[in-house]
Chains A and B, each alone.
Chain A
Amino acid sequence: MKKVLNLLFSNIVVLVSTIAIITLIAIFAMLIIESLPALRTIGWGFLTSGAWYPTYDDPEFGMLYMLLDSLILVGLTSLVVFPVSLGIALYSTEYATRAEREMVRSITELISGVPSVVVGMIGVLLIGPLMLKMGAWTPFNLLNATLSLTILTLPYAVSLIVESLQGVDPILREGVLALGSSKIKAAAMIIRGAKHEILYSFILIVNRILGETMVVLMVAGGAAMLPTSLFDPIRPLTAAIASEMGEVELGSLHYSALFLAGVVLLIISAGITMVAEYVIRRGKRWLTG
């Protein structure tokens, strides 16, 4: 009986994981198949031109500016989210009292449950007017998108990094302190101890920012231009897909080009993950000699 149950269970697990893998492959395959007509017609033009005019009589499908908009936004938001979340996490694991730690935990948990459309509304109703007061020519711009995305991803980042730091063996900290080092030195050791996990957390956060759609659709401005200041509006690829997919003619070149944009996003996200894994693996080899 036990054997049968075991066998049954292992089969179910295999089945479920096969389904997951097949789904993943099917998503990849579908994206690529749907984007092939565009790739065939446009060639590499989609990466060398920034002119995105999909509905004109002589359509153009240059995604370069929107792609760069996405990357600039990811870069800026990461620049804010990474140090701040690391700081909060470090404080809550190394310095905070138990009550403070609980407070940080419950606040981050509470905020991370907020749907992105609500964060978008905050960007529209609170940050937008603030932008105008600061002298921006449009309330929806790169800075607004960065701040809104920070609100959205910071709690997520904090809880991921807290988890990473807590994974470090406390003996390390105690040992460093026992050797007479300062608390800052101990914190640095903890970070070193958890650096791979922290790197993984950062990658998850980067992918989250890169893939975020609702917030950027609402507050980034929707102009497919290269920003020259923080107050310029931008249009990340995800916003373009969300905005145009709804009414596009099925099977048209425009439809296919939107799928191509999806493939581009997927490749970037997979690329970042792969590079990080490579770095971590090489780092491990150095450690073990």
Chain B
Amino acid sequence: MRKIAFLILALFVVVNLVAETLVIKGSNTILPIAQRWVEAFKRYYPDLVVTLEGAGSSTGIKALFNNTADIANASRFLKPSEIEQMHEQGRYFVPIVIGYDGIAVIVNKSLPIDSIDRETLKKIYTGKVSTWNQIDPSLPKKRIAVYSRNTASGTFETWESKVLEGERMAPWVQMLESTQAEIEAIKRNPYAIGYVGFGYVTDEVKVLKVEGVAPEIGTILSGEYPISRPLFVFFDLSRFENTWPESGVVARYIRFIVSPEGQKLVKEAGYVPAYSISE
């Protein structure tokens, strides 16, 4: 009896040692994509143990430095200080652009406005204007109901960097818990404005042009649409003796995420894929 127990225990230990692990950390923006990737990737490798954590781009990159993650998701490129630190340690974090995040500005369909610029958006969100007729006298003299995603969301991160440019939101900006809630609120409120990930827009609301450019796959990919940014995945090449890994779990994962199947999931999560999605 004891022998059997011991055998089982030994087997368990061996399996655990052999089982491959993949630790992914980083941006909340990329989290919905990464969740889909991990789910699909595990169908090919059911024994793989994956840990996925979204705690911000900086945390992901820090985890690469500390060797506590294999993959870092980041909605921004490395900061100069991070590049210096990387050089000092003789390491190389490979950046892979995996898609683009475009944010659509939406209003109620009945509001007679079609286009807005970033300066005005900043004024609305920082509280320098509070009624619609302050933007354009032909608009109704009504208070703007300003909606935002809550600070936990990656969309908020992008908005903060691309529109607010570090300035603070006015206290009356209403934080909503989900993109659906935001669309629902704007659909019902004729004087509301909000922003959602490009992929979530429905025809129940009106999408505004920003600086004269409408958010479309083409304008986001070309960089014409101003409220968009590339999304990155980093891995540490120095862990593979500075040669491109062709086998192993990290190599397989990287290959998967840029494959048409992986890129389709980028689109599914509401973002613009960086590579072709047709087989």
Residues of chain A whose beta carbon lies under 8 Å from any beta carbon of chain B = 50-51, 53-57, 65, 124, 128-129, 132, 137-140, 217, 221-226, 232-233, 235, 243-244, 246-250
Contact = CB atoms under 8 A, between A and B. Distances in A.
Contact of A221 (B156, B169, B174): B174
B172 A53 contact: no
A65 B168 CA distance: 16
Contacts of B169: 53
Contact of A56 (B54, B166, B173, B191): B166
B174 A223 contact: yes
Given A243-B152, A246-B152, A233 B172 contact: yes
B175 A57 contact: no
A56 B160 contact: yes
A259 B64 CA distance: 28
Contacts of A233: 172, 174
B252 interface: no
Interface in B42-91: 54-56, 59
Contacts of B157: 55
A137 B142 contact: yes
| Secondary structure call for the B interface | loop
A67 to B, nearest CB: 14
Q: What's the interface size class on B, roughly?
A: 20 to 34
26 contacts: A51-B168, A53-B169, A55-B156, A55-B157, A55-B160, A56-B160, A56-B168, A65-B171, A138-B174, A138-B189, A217-B177, A222-B150, A222-B176, A222-B177, A223-B172, A223-B173, A223-B175, A225-B171, A225-B172, A235-B175, A243-B177, A244-B150, A246-B152, A247-B28, A248-B152, A249-B59
Contact of A247 (B54, B189, B191): B54
Contacts of A226: 171
Contacts of A53: 168-169
Interface string B160-200: 10000010110111111100000011001111100000000
B151 interface: yes
B189 A139 contact: yes
Contacts of A139: 185, 188-189
B203 to A, nearest CB: 20
| Secondary structure call for the A interface | loop
B145 interface: yes
A103 to B, nearest CB: 35
A250 B59 CA distance: 11
Nearest to B148: A222
Contacts, number: 74
Contact of A223 (B28, B171, B188, B191): B171
B255 interface: no
A127 to B, nearest CB: 12
B239 interface: no
Given A138-B145, A140-B174, A217-B177, A57 B188 contact: no
Given A51-B168, A132-B190, 4 more contacts: A57-B166, A128-B188, A132-B189, A223-B175
B118 interface: no
Contacts of B153: 247
Contact of A137 (B145, B166, B168, B184): B145
A132 B188 contact: yes
B155 to A, nearest CB: 12
Given A244-B151, A246-B152, A247-B28, A222 B175 contact: yes
A129 B56 contact: no
Can you list the 9 inter-chain pairs with the closest CB atoms, starting with the nearest? A247-B152, A225-B171, A222-B175, A137-B143, A138-B145, A249-B55, A55-B151, A223-B174, A222-B174
B208 to A, nearest CB: 19
Contacts of B184: 124
Interface in B195-254: none
A187 to B, nearest CB: 44
A53 B176 CA distance: 15
A17 to B, nearest CB: 38
Contacts of B151: 54-55, 244
A146 B174 CA distance: 17
Given A132-B189, A137-B142, A140-B185, A232 B168 contact: no
Given A55-B151, A56-B160, A138-B145, A243 B188 contact: no
Contacts of A124: 184
A224 B56 contact: no
A249 B156 CA distance: 16
Contact of A243 (B145, B171, B175, B192): B175
